Amino acid sequence: MKIYDPDRNIITDANALIDLPNIQKGKVHCYEDRSGDMWFGIQFRGIYHKISSTKPFHPLGHSKKSNLNLSHYIVKSIVKDRNGTLWVGTDGGGINLLEKGSQKFRPFNANGPDKLTDKAIIKLYQDKKGRIWIGTYLDGIYCYDGAGKLLKHYTLPGAEKEKWNNYVFDLIEDSGGNLWIATCGGGLFYLDISKEKIIQSSFPVVAGKTQSIKPFINALEYTSDSTLWIGTYNGLFAWNKKADTFRSFQMSNGDFVNEVIFEVKQDKSGNIWIGTLSGLYCFKQGGKMQRFSTEQGLSGNSVMAIEIDKKNNVWISTTKGISKFDISSGTFQNYYEYDGLPCNEYRPGASYSDENGYIYFGGVDGLVYFLPDSITNNPVKPNLIFTSFKVFDQLITPNSKNENSILKYDINETDSIVLNYSHKSITLEFAAINFSVPEK
């Protein structure tokens, strides 16, 4: 079968554009529906469906959905360096690099062929100087200077006695160039750049509380007002060193203080978005805390990572898909595997936004990236089909020969139905037909 392009006046083999069987002979009937999809009825071969729209989600990973060959299927961290190389940290397969224009990942090998290749890379972070900081599971942090090709290793204080000090969960740079280090068991540290020394940070006891911040820290965010936001296994804290203030946050019912926090992000309006095991929270500029869950449309209550797009919309990865919160309408739109995602389950803190507006999320089967503006809702309303009609829970079938039959023809071909006064209970069942994503 051939396709004629009148604009370019060329004829192209259909198989180059559409995955159809090799047709040597027989009839082919083509039909374009109102959404632009093409349908092909092929003699002795059946019906083939070509969806017109392109998939906005681009999976990269370890599975059959990608041929880029990540070293491990679970992605824990993502960053892109100044050369446009994508760095991907995995859960036991080290770091994978996808250079700009390349079609395949390669392992990161610095200072020797085996350095970091079998480690769990929990966090990748690029500082203002372009250096890549690497947080690991039980092996502290590494610093890679792309210009000098150097890899420096830092062991956190006290790790020789308490191994959890070296379990680095998050990294962030403050306005003074110091690097803050969140650990899962050792508390909070910072690397004093001027002294090249890692120092363990301590906090005062929160007013009205019997204990201070616990040492299990999952997420850090440094905002323009010099506040360090700290997401922990026992709630959210904010420390402003300049103002010498330290606050804990909780809902009015007191439950939020004990939340497990996996992500903290500030949007362009100054609101703080918080990802927890029981939903998404927004701490607004006026001091109000608002919670969102599956009841409001979120894909899953276990929020793993958050990114803010250029229009200030909030993108959320969960253990049950990816959600977009439209900041103008206050509504959620959810996306799943059948929309083109590599998986539905994503990992804590595994996200990144690049300078071109692309958003990345890492999960249990590789990672996915997409341009938010390329994702649009289908403007074509699906056809509504009645699937059954019941009276007193009894299915009514059409019978044109019986004068007493309620339905003479199929209900979808019936203009009107006449019922008598005794038909007090009726049931209509229907379906919205969409062949692009029938699961939705």
In order of their start, the domains of the chain are 2-50 (no CATH), 58-374 (2.130.10.10), 383-433 (no CATH)
Of the candidate ranges 26-30, 97-101, 184-188, 338-342, the one whose mean pLDDT is the lowest: 26-30
pLDDT band of residue 143 (cuts 50, 70, 90) is: very high
More confident residue, 176 or 8: 176
Q: What is the model's pLDDT at position 432?
A: 76
Q: What is the model's pLDDT at position 210?
A: 42
Q: How many CA atoms lie within 13 A of 436 on its CB side?
A: 20
Angle 132-136-140 (CA atoms, 0-180°, nearest 5)? Answer: 90
Q: What is the model's pLDDT at position 253?
A: 56
Q: For the segment 335-364, what is each residue's pLDDT rounded down to a tens digit?
A: 999 899 999 999 999 999 999 999 999 999
Cβ pair 220, 180 in contact under 8 A: yes
Nearest Cα neighbor of 110 from 153, 70, 154, 150 is 150
Q: What is the model's pLDDT at position 320?
A: 98
Q: What is the model's pLDDT at position 403?
A: 64
Of the candidate ranges 37-46, 292-301, 326-335, the one whose mean pLDDT is the lowest: 37-46
Residue 147, pLDDT > 90, answer no
Centre a 10 Å sphere on the Cβ of residue 170 and count the other Cβ atoms it contains: 27
Residue 65, pLDDT > 60, answer no
pLDDT band of residue 44 (cuts 50, 70, 90) is: confident
Residue 211, pLDDT > 50, answer no
Cβ pair 88, 77 in contact under 8 A: yes
Rounded Cα distance between 333 and 321, Å, is: 11
Report, as an integer, the average pLDDT of 379-390. Answer: 80
Q: For the segment 393-404, what is each residue's pLDDT rounded down to a tens digit?
A: 999 888 866 667
Centre a 10 Å sphere on the Cβ of residue 91 and count the other Cβ atoms it contains: 19
Of the candidate ranges 74-78, 94-98, 251-255, 271-275, the one whose mean pLDDT is the lowest: 251-255
Rounded Cα distance between 377 and 362, Å, is: 24
pLDDT band of residue 24 (cuts 50, 70, 90) is: low
**N- to C-terminal Cα separation, the chain:** 32
Report, as an integer, the average pLDDT of 408-437. Answer: 84
Q: For the segment 244-285, what is each residue's pLDDT rounded down to a tens digit?
A: 788 888 665 555 667 899 999 999 999 999 999 999 999 998
**Sheet order of strands, 346-353 included:** 58-60, 366-370, 359-363, 346-353
Q: How many CA atoms lie within 13 A of 351 on its CB side?
A: 27
Cβ pair 94, 107 in contact under 8 A: yes
Residue 53, pLDDT > 90, answer no
pLDDT band of residue 19 (cuts 50, 70, 90) is: low
* Average pLDDT of every residue of the chain: 87
pTM: 0.79
Residue 42, burial from CB neighbour count under 10 angstroms (0-12, 13-18, 19+) = middle
Q: What is the model's pLDDT at position 28?
A: 83
Residue 113, pLDDT > 90, answer no
Cβ pair 230, 238 in contact under 8 A: yes
Angle 237-240-243 (CA atoms, 0-180°, nearest 5)? Answer: 140
Q: CA of 288: how far to CAs of 271, 272, 284, in Å?
A: 10, 11, 5
Residue 432, burial from CB neighbour count under 10 angstroms (0-12, 13-18, 19+) = exposed
More confident residue, 439 or 302: 302
Rounded Cα distance between 298 and 295, Å, is: 7
Nearest Cα neighbor of 364 from 316, 307, 318, 309 is 318
Nearest Cα neighbor of 86 from 115, 137, 126 is 126
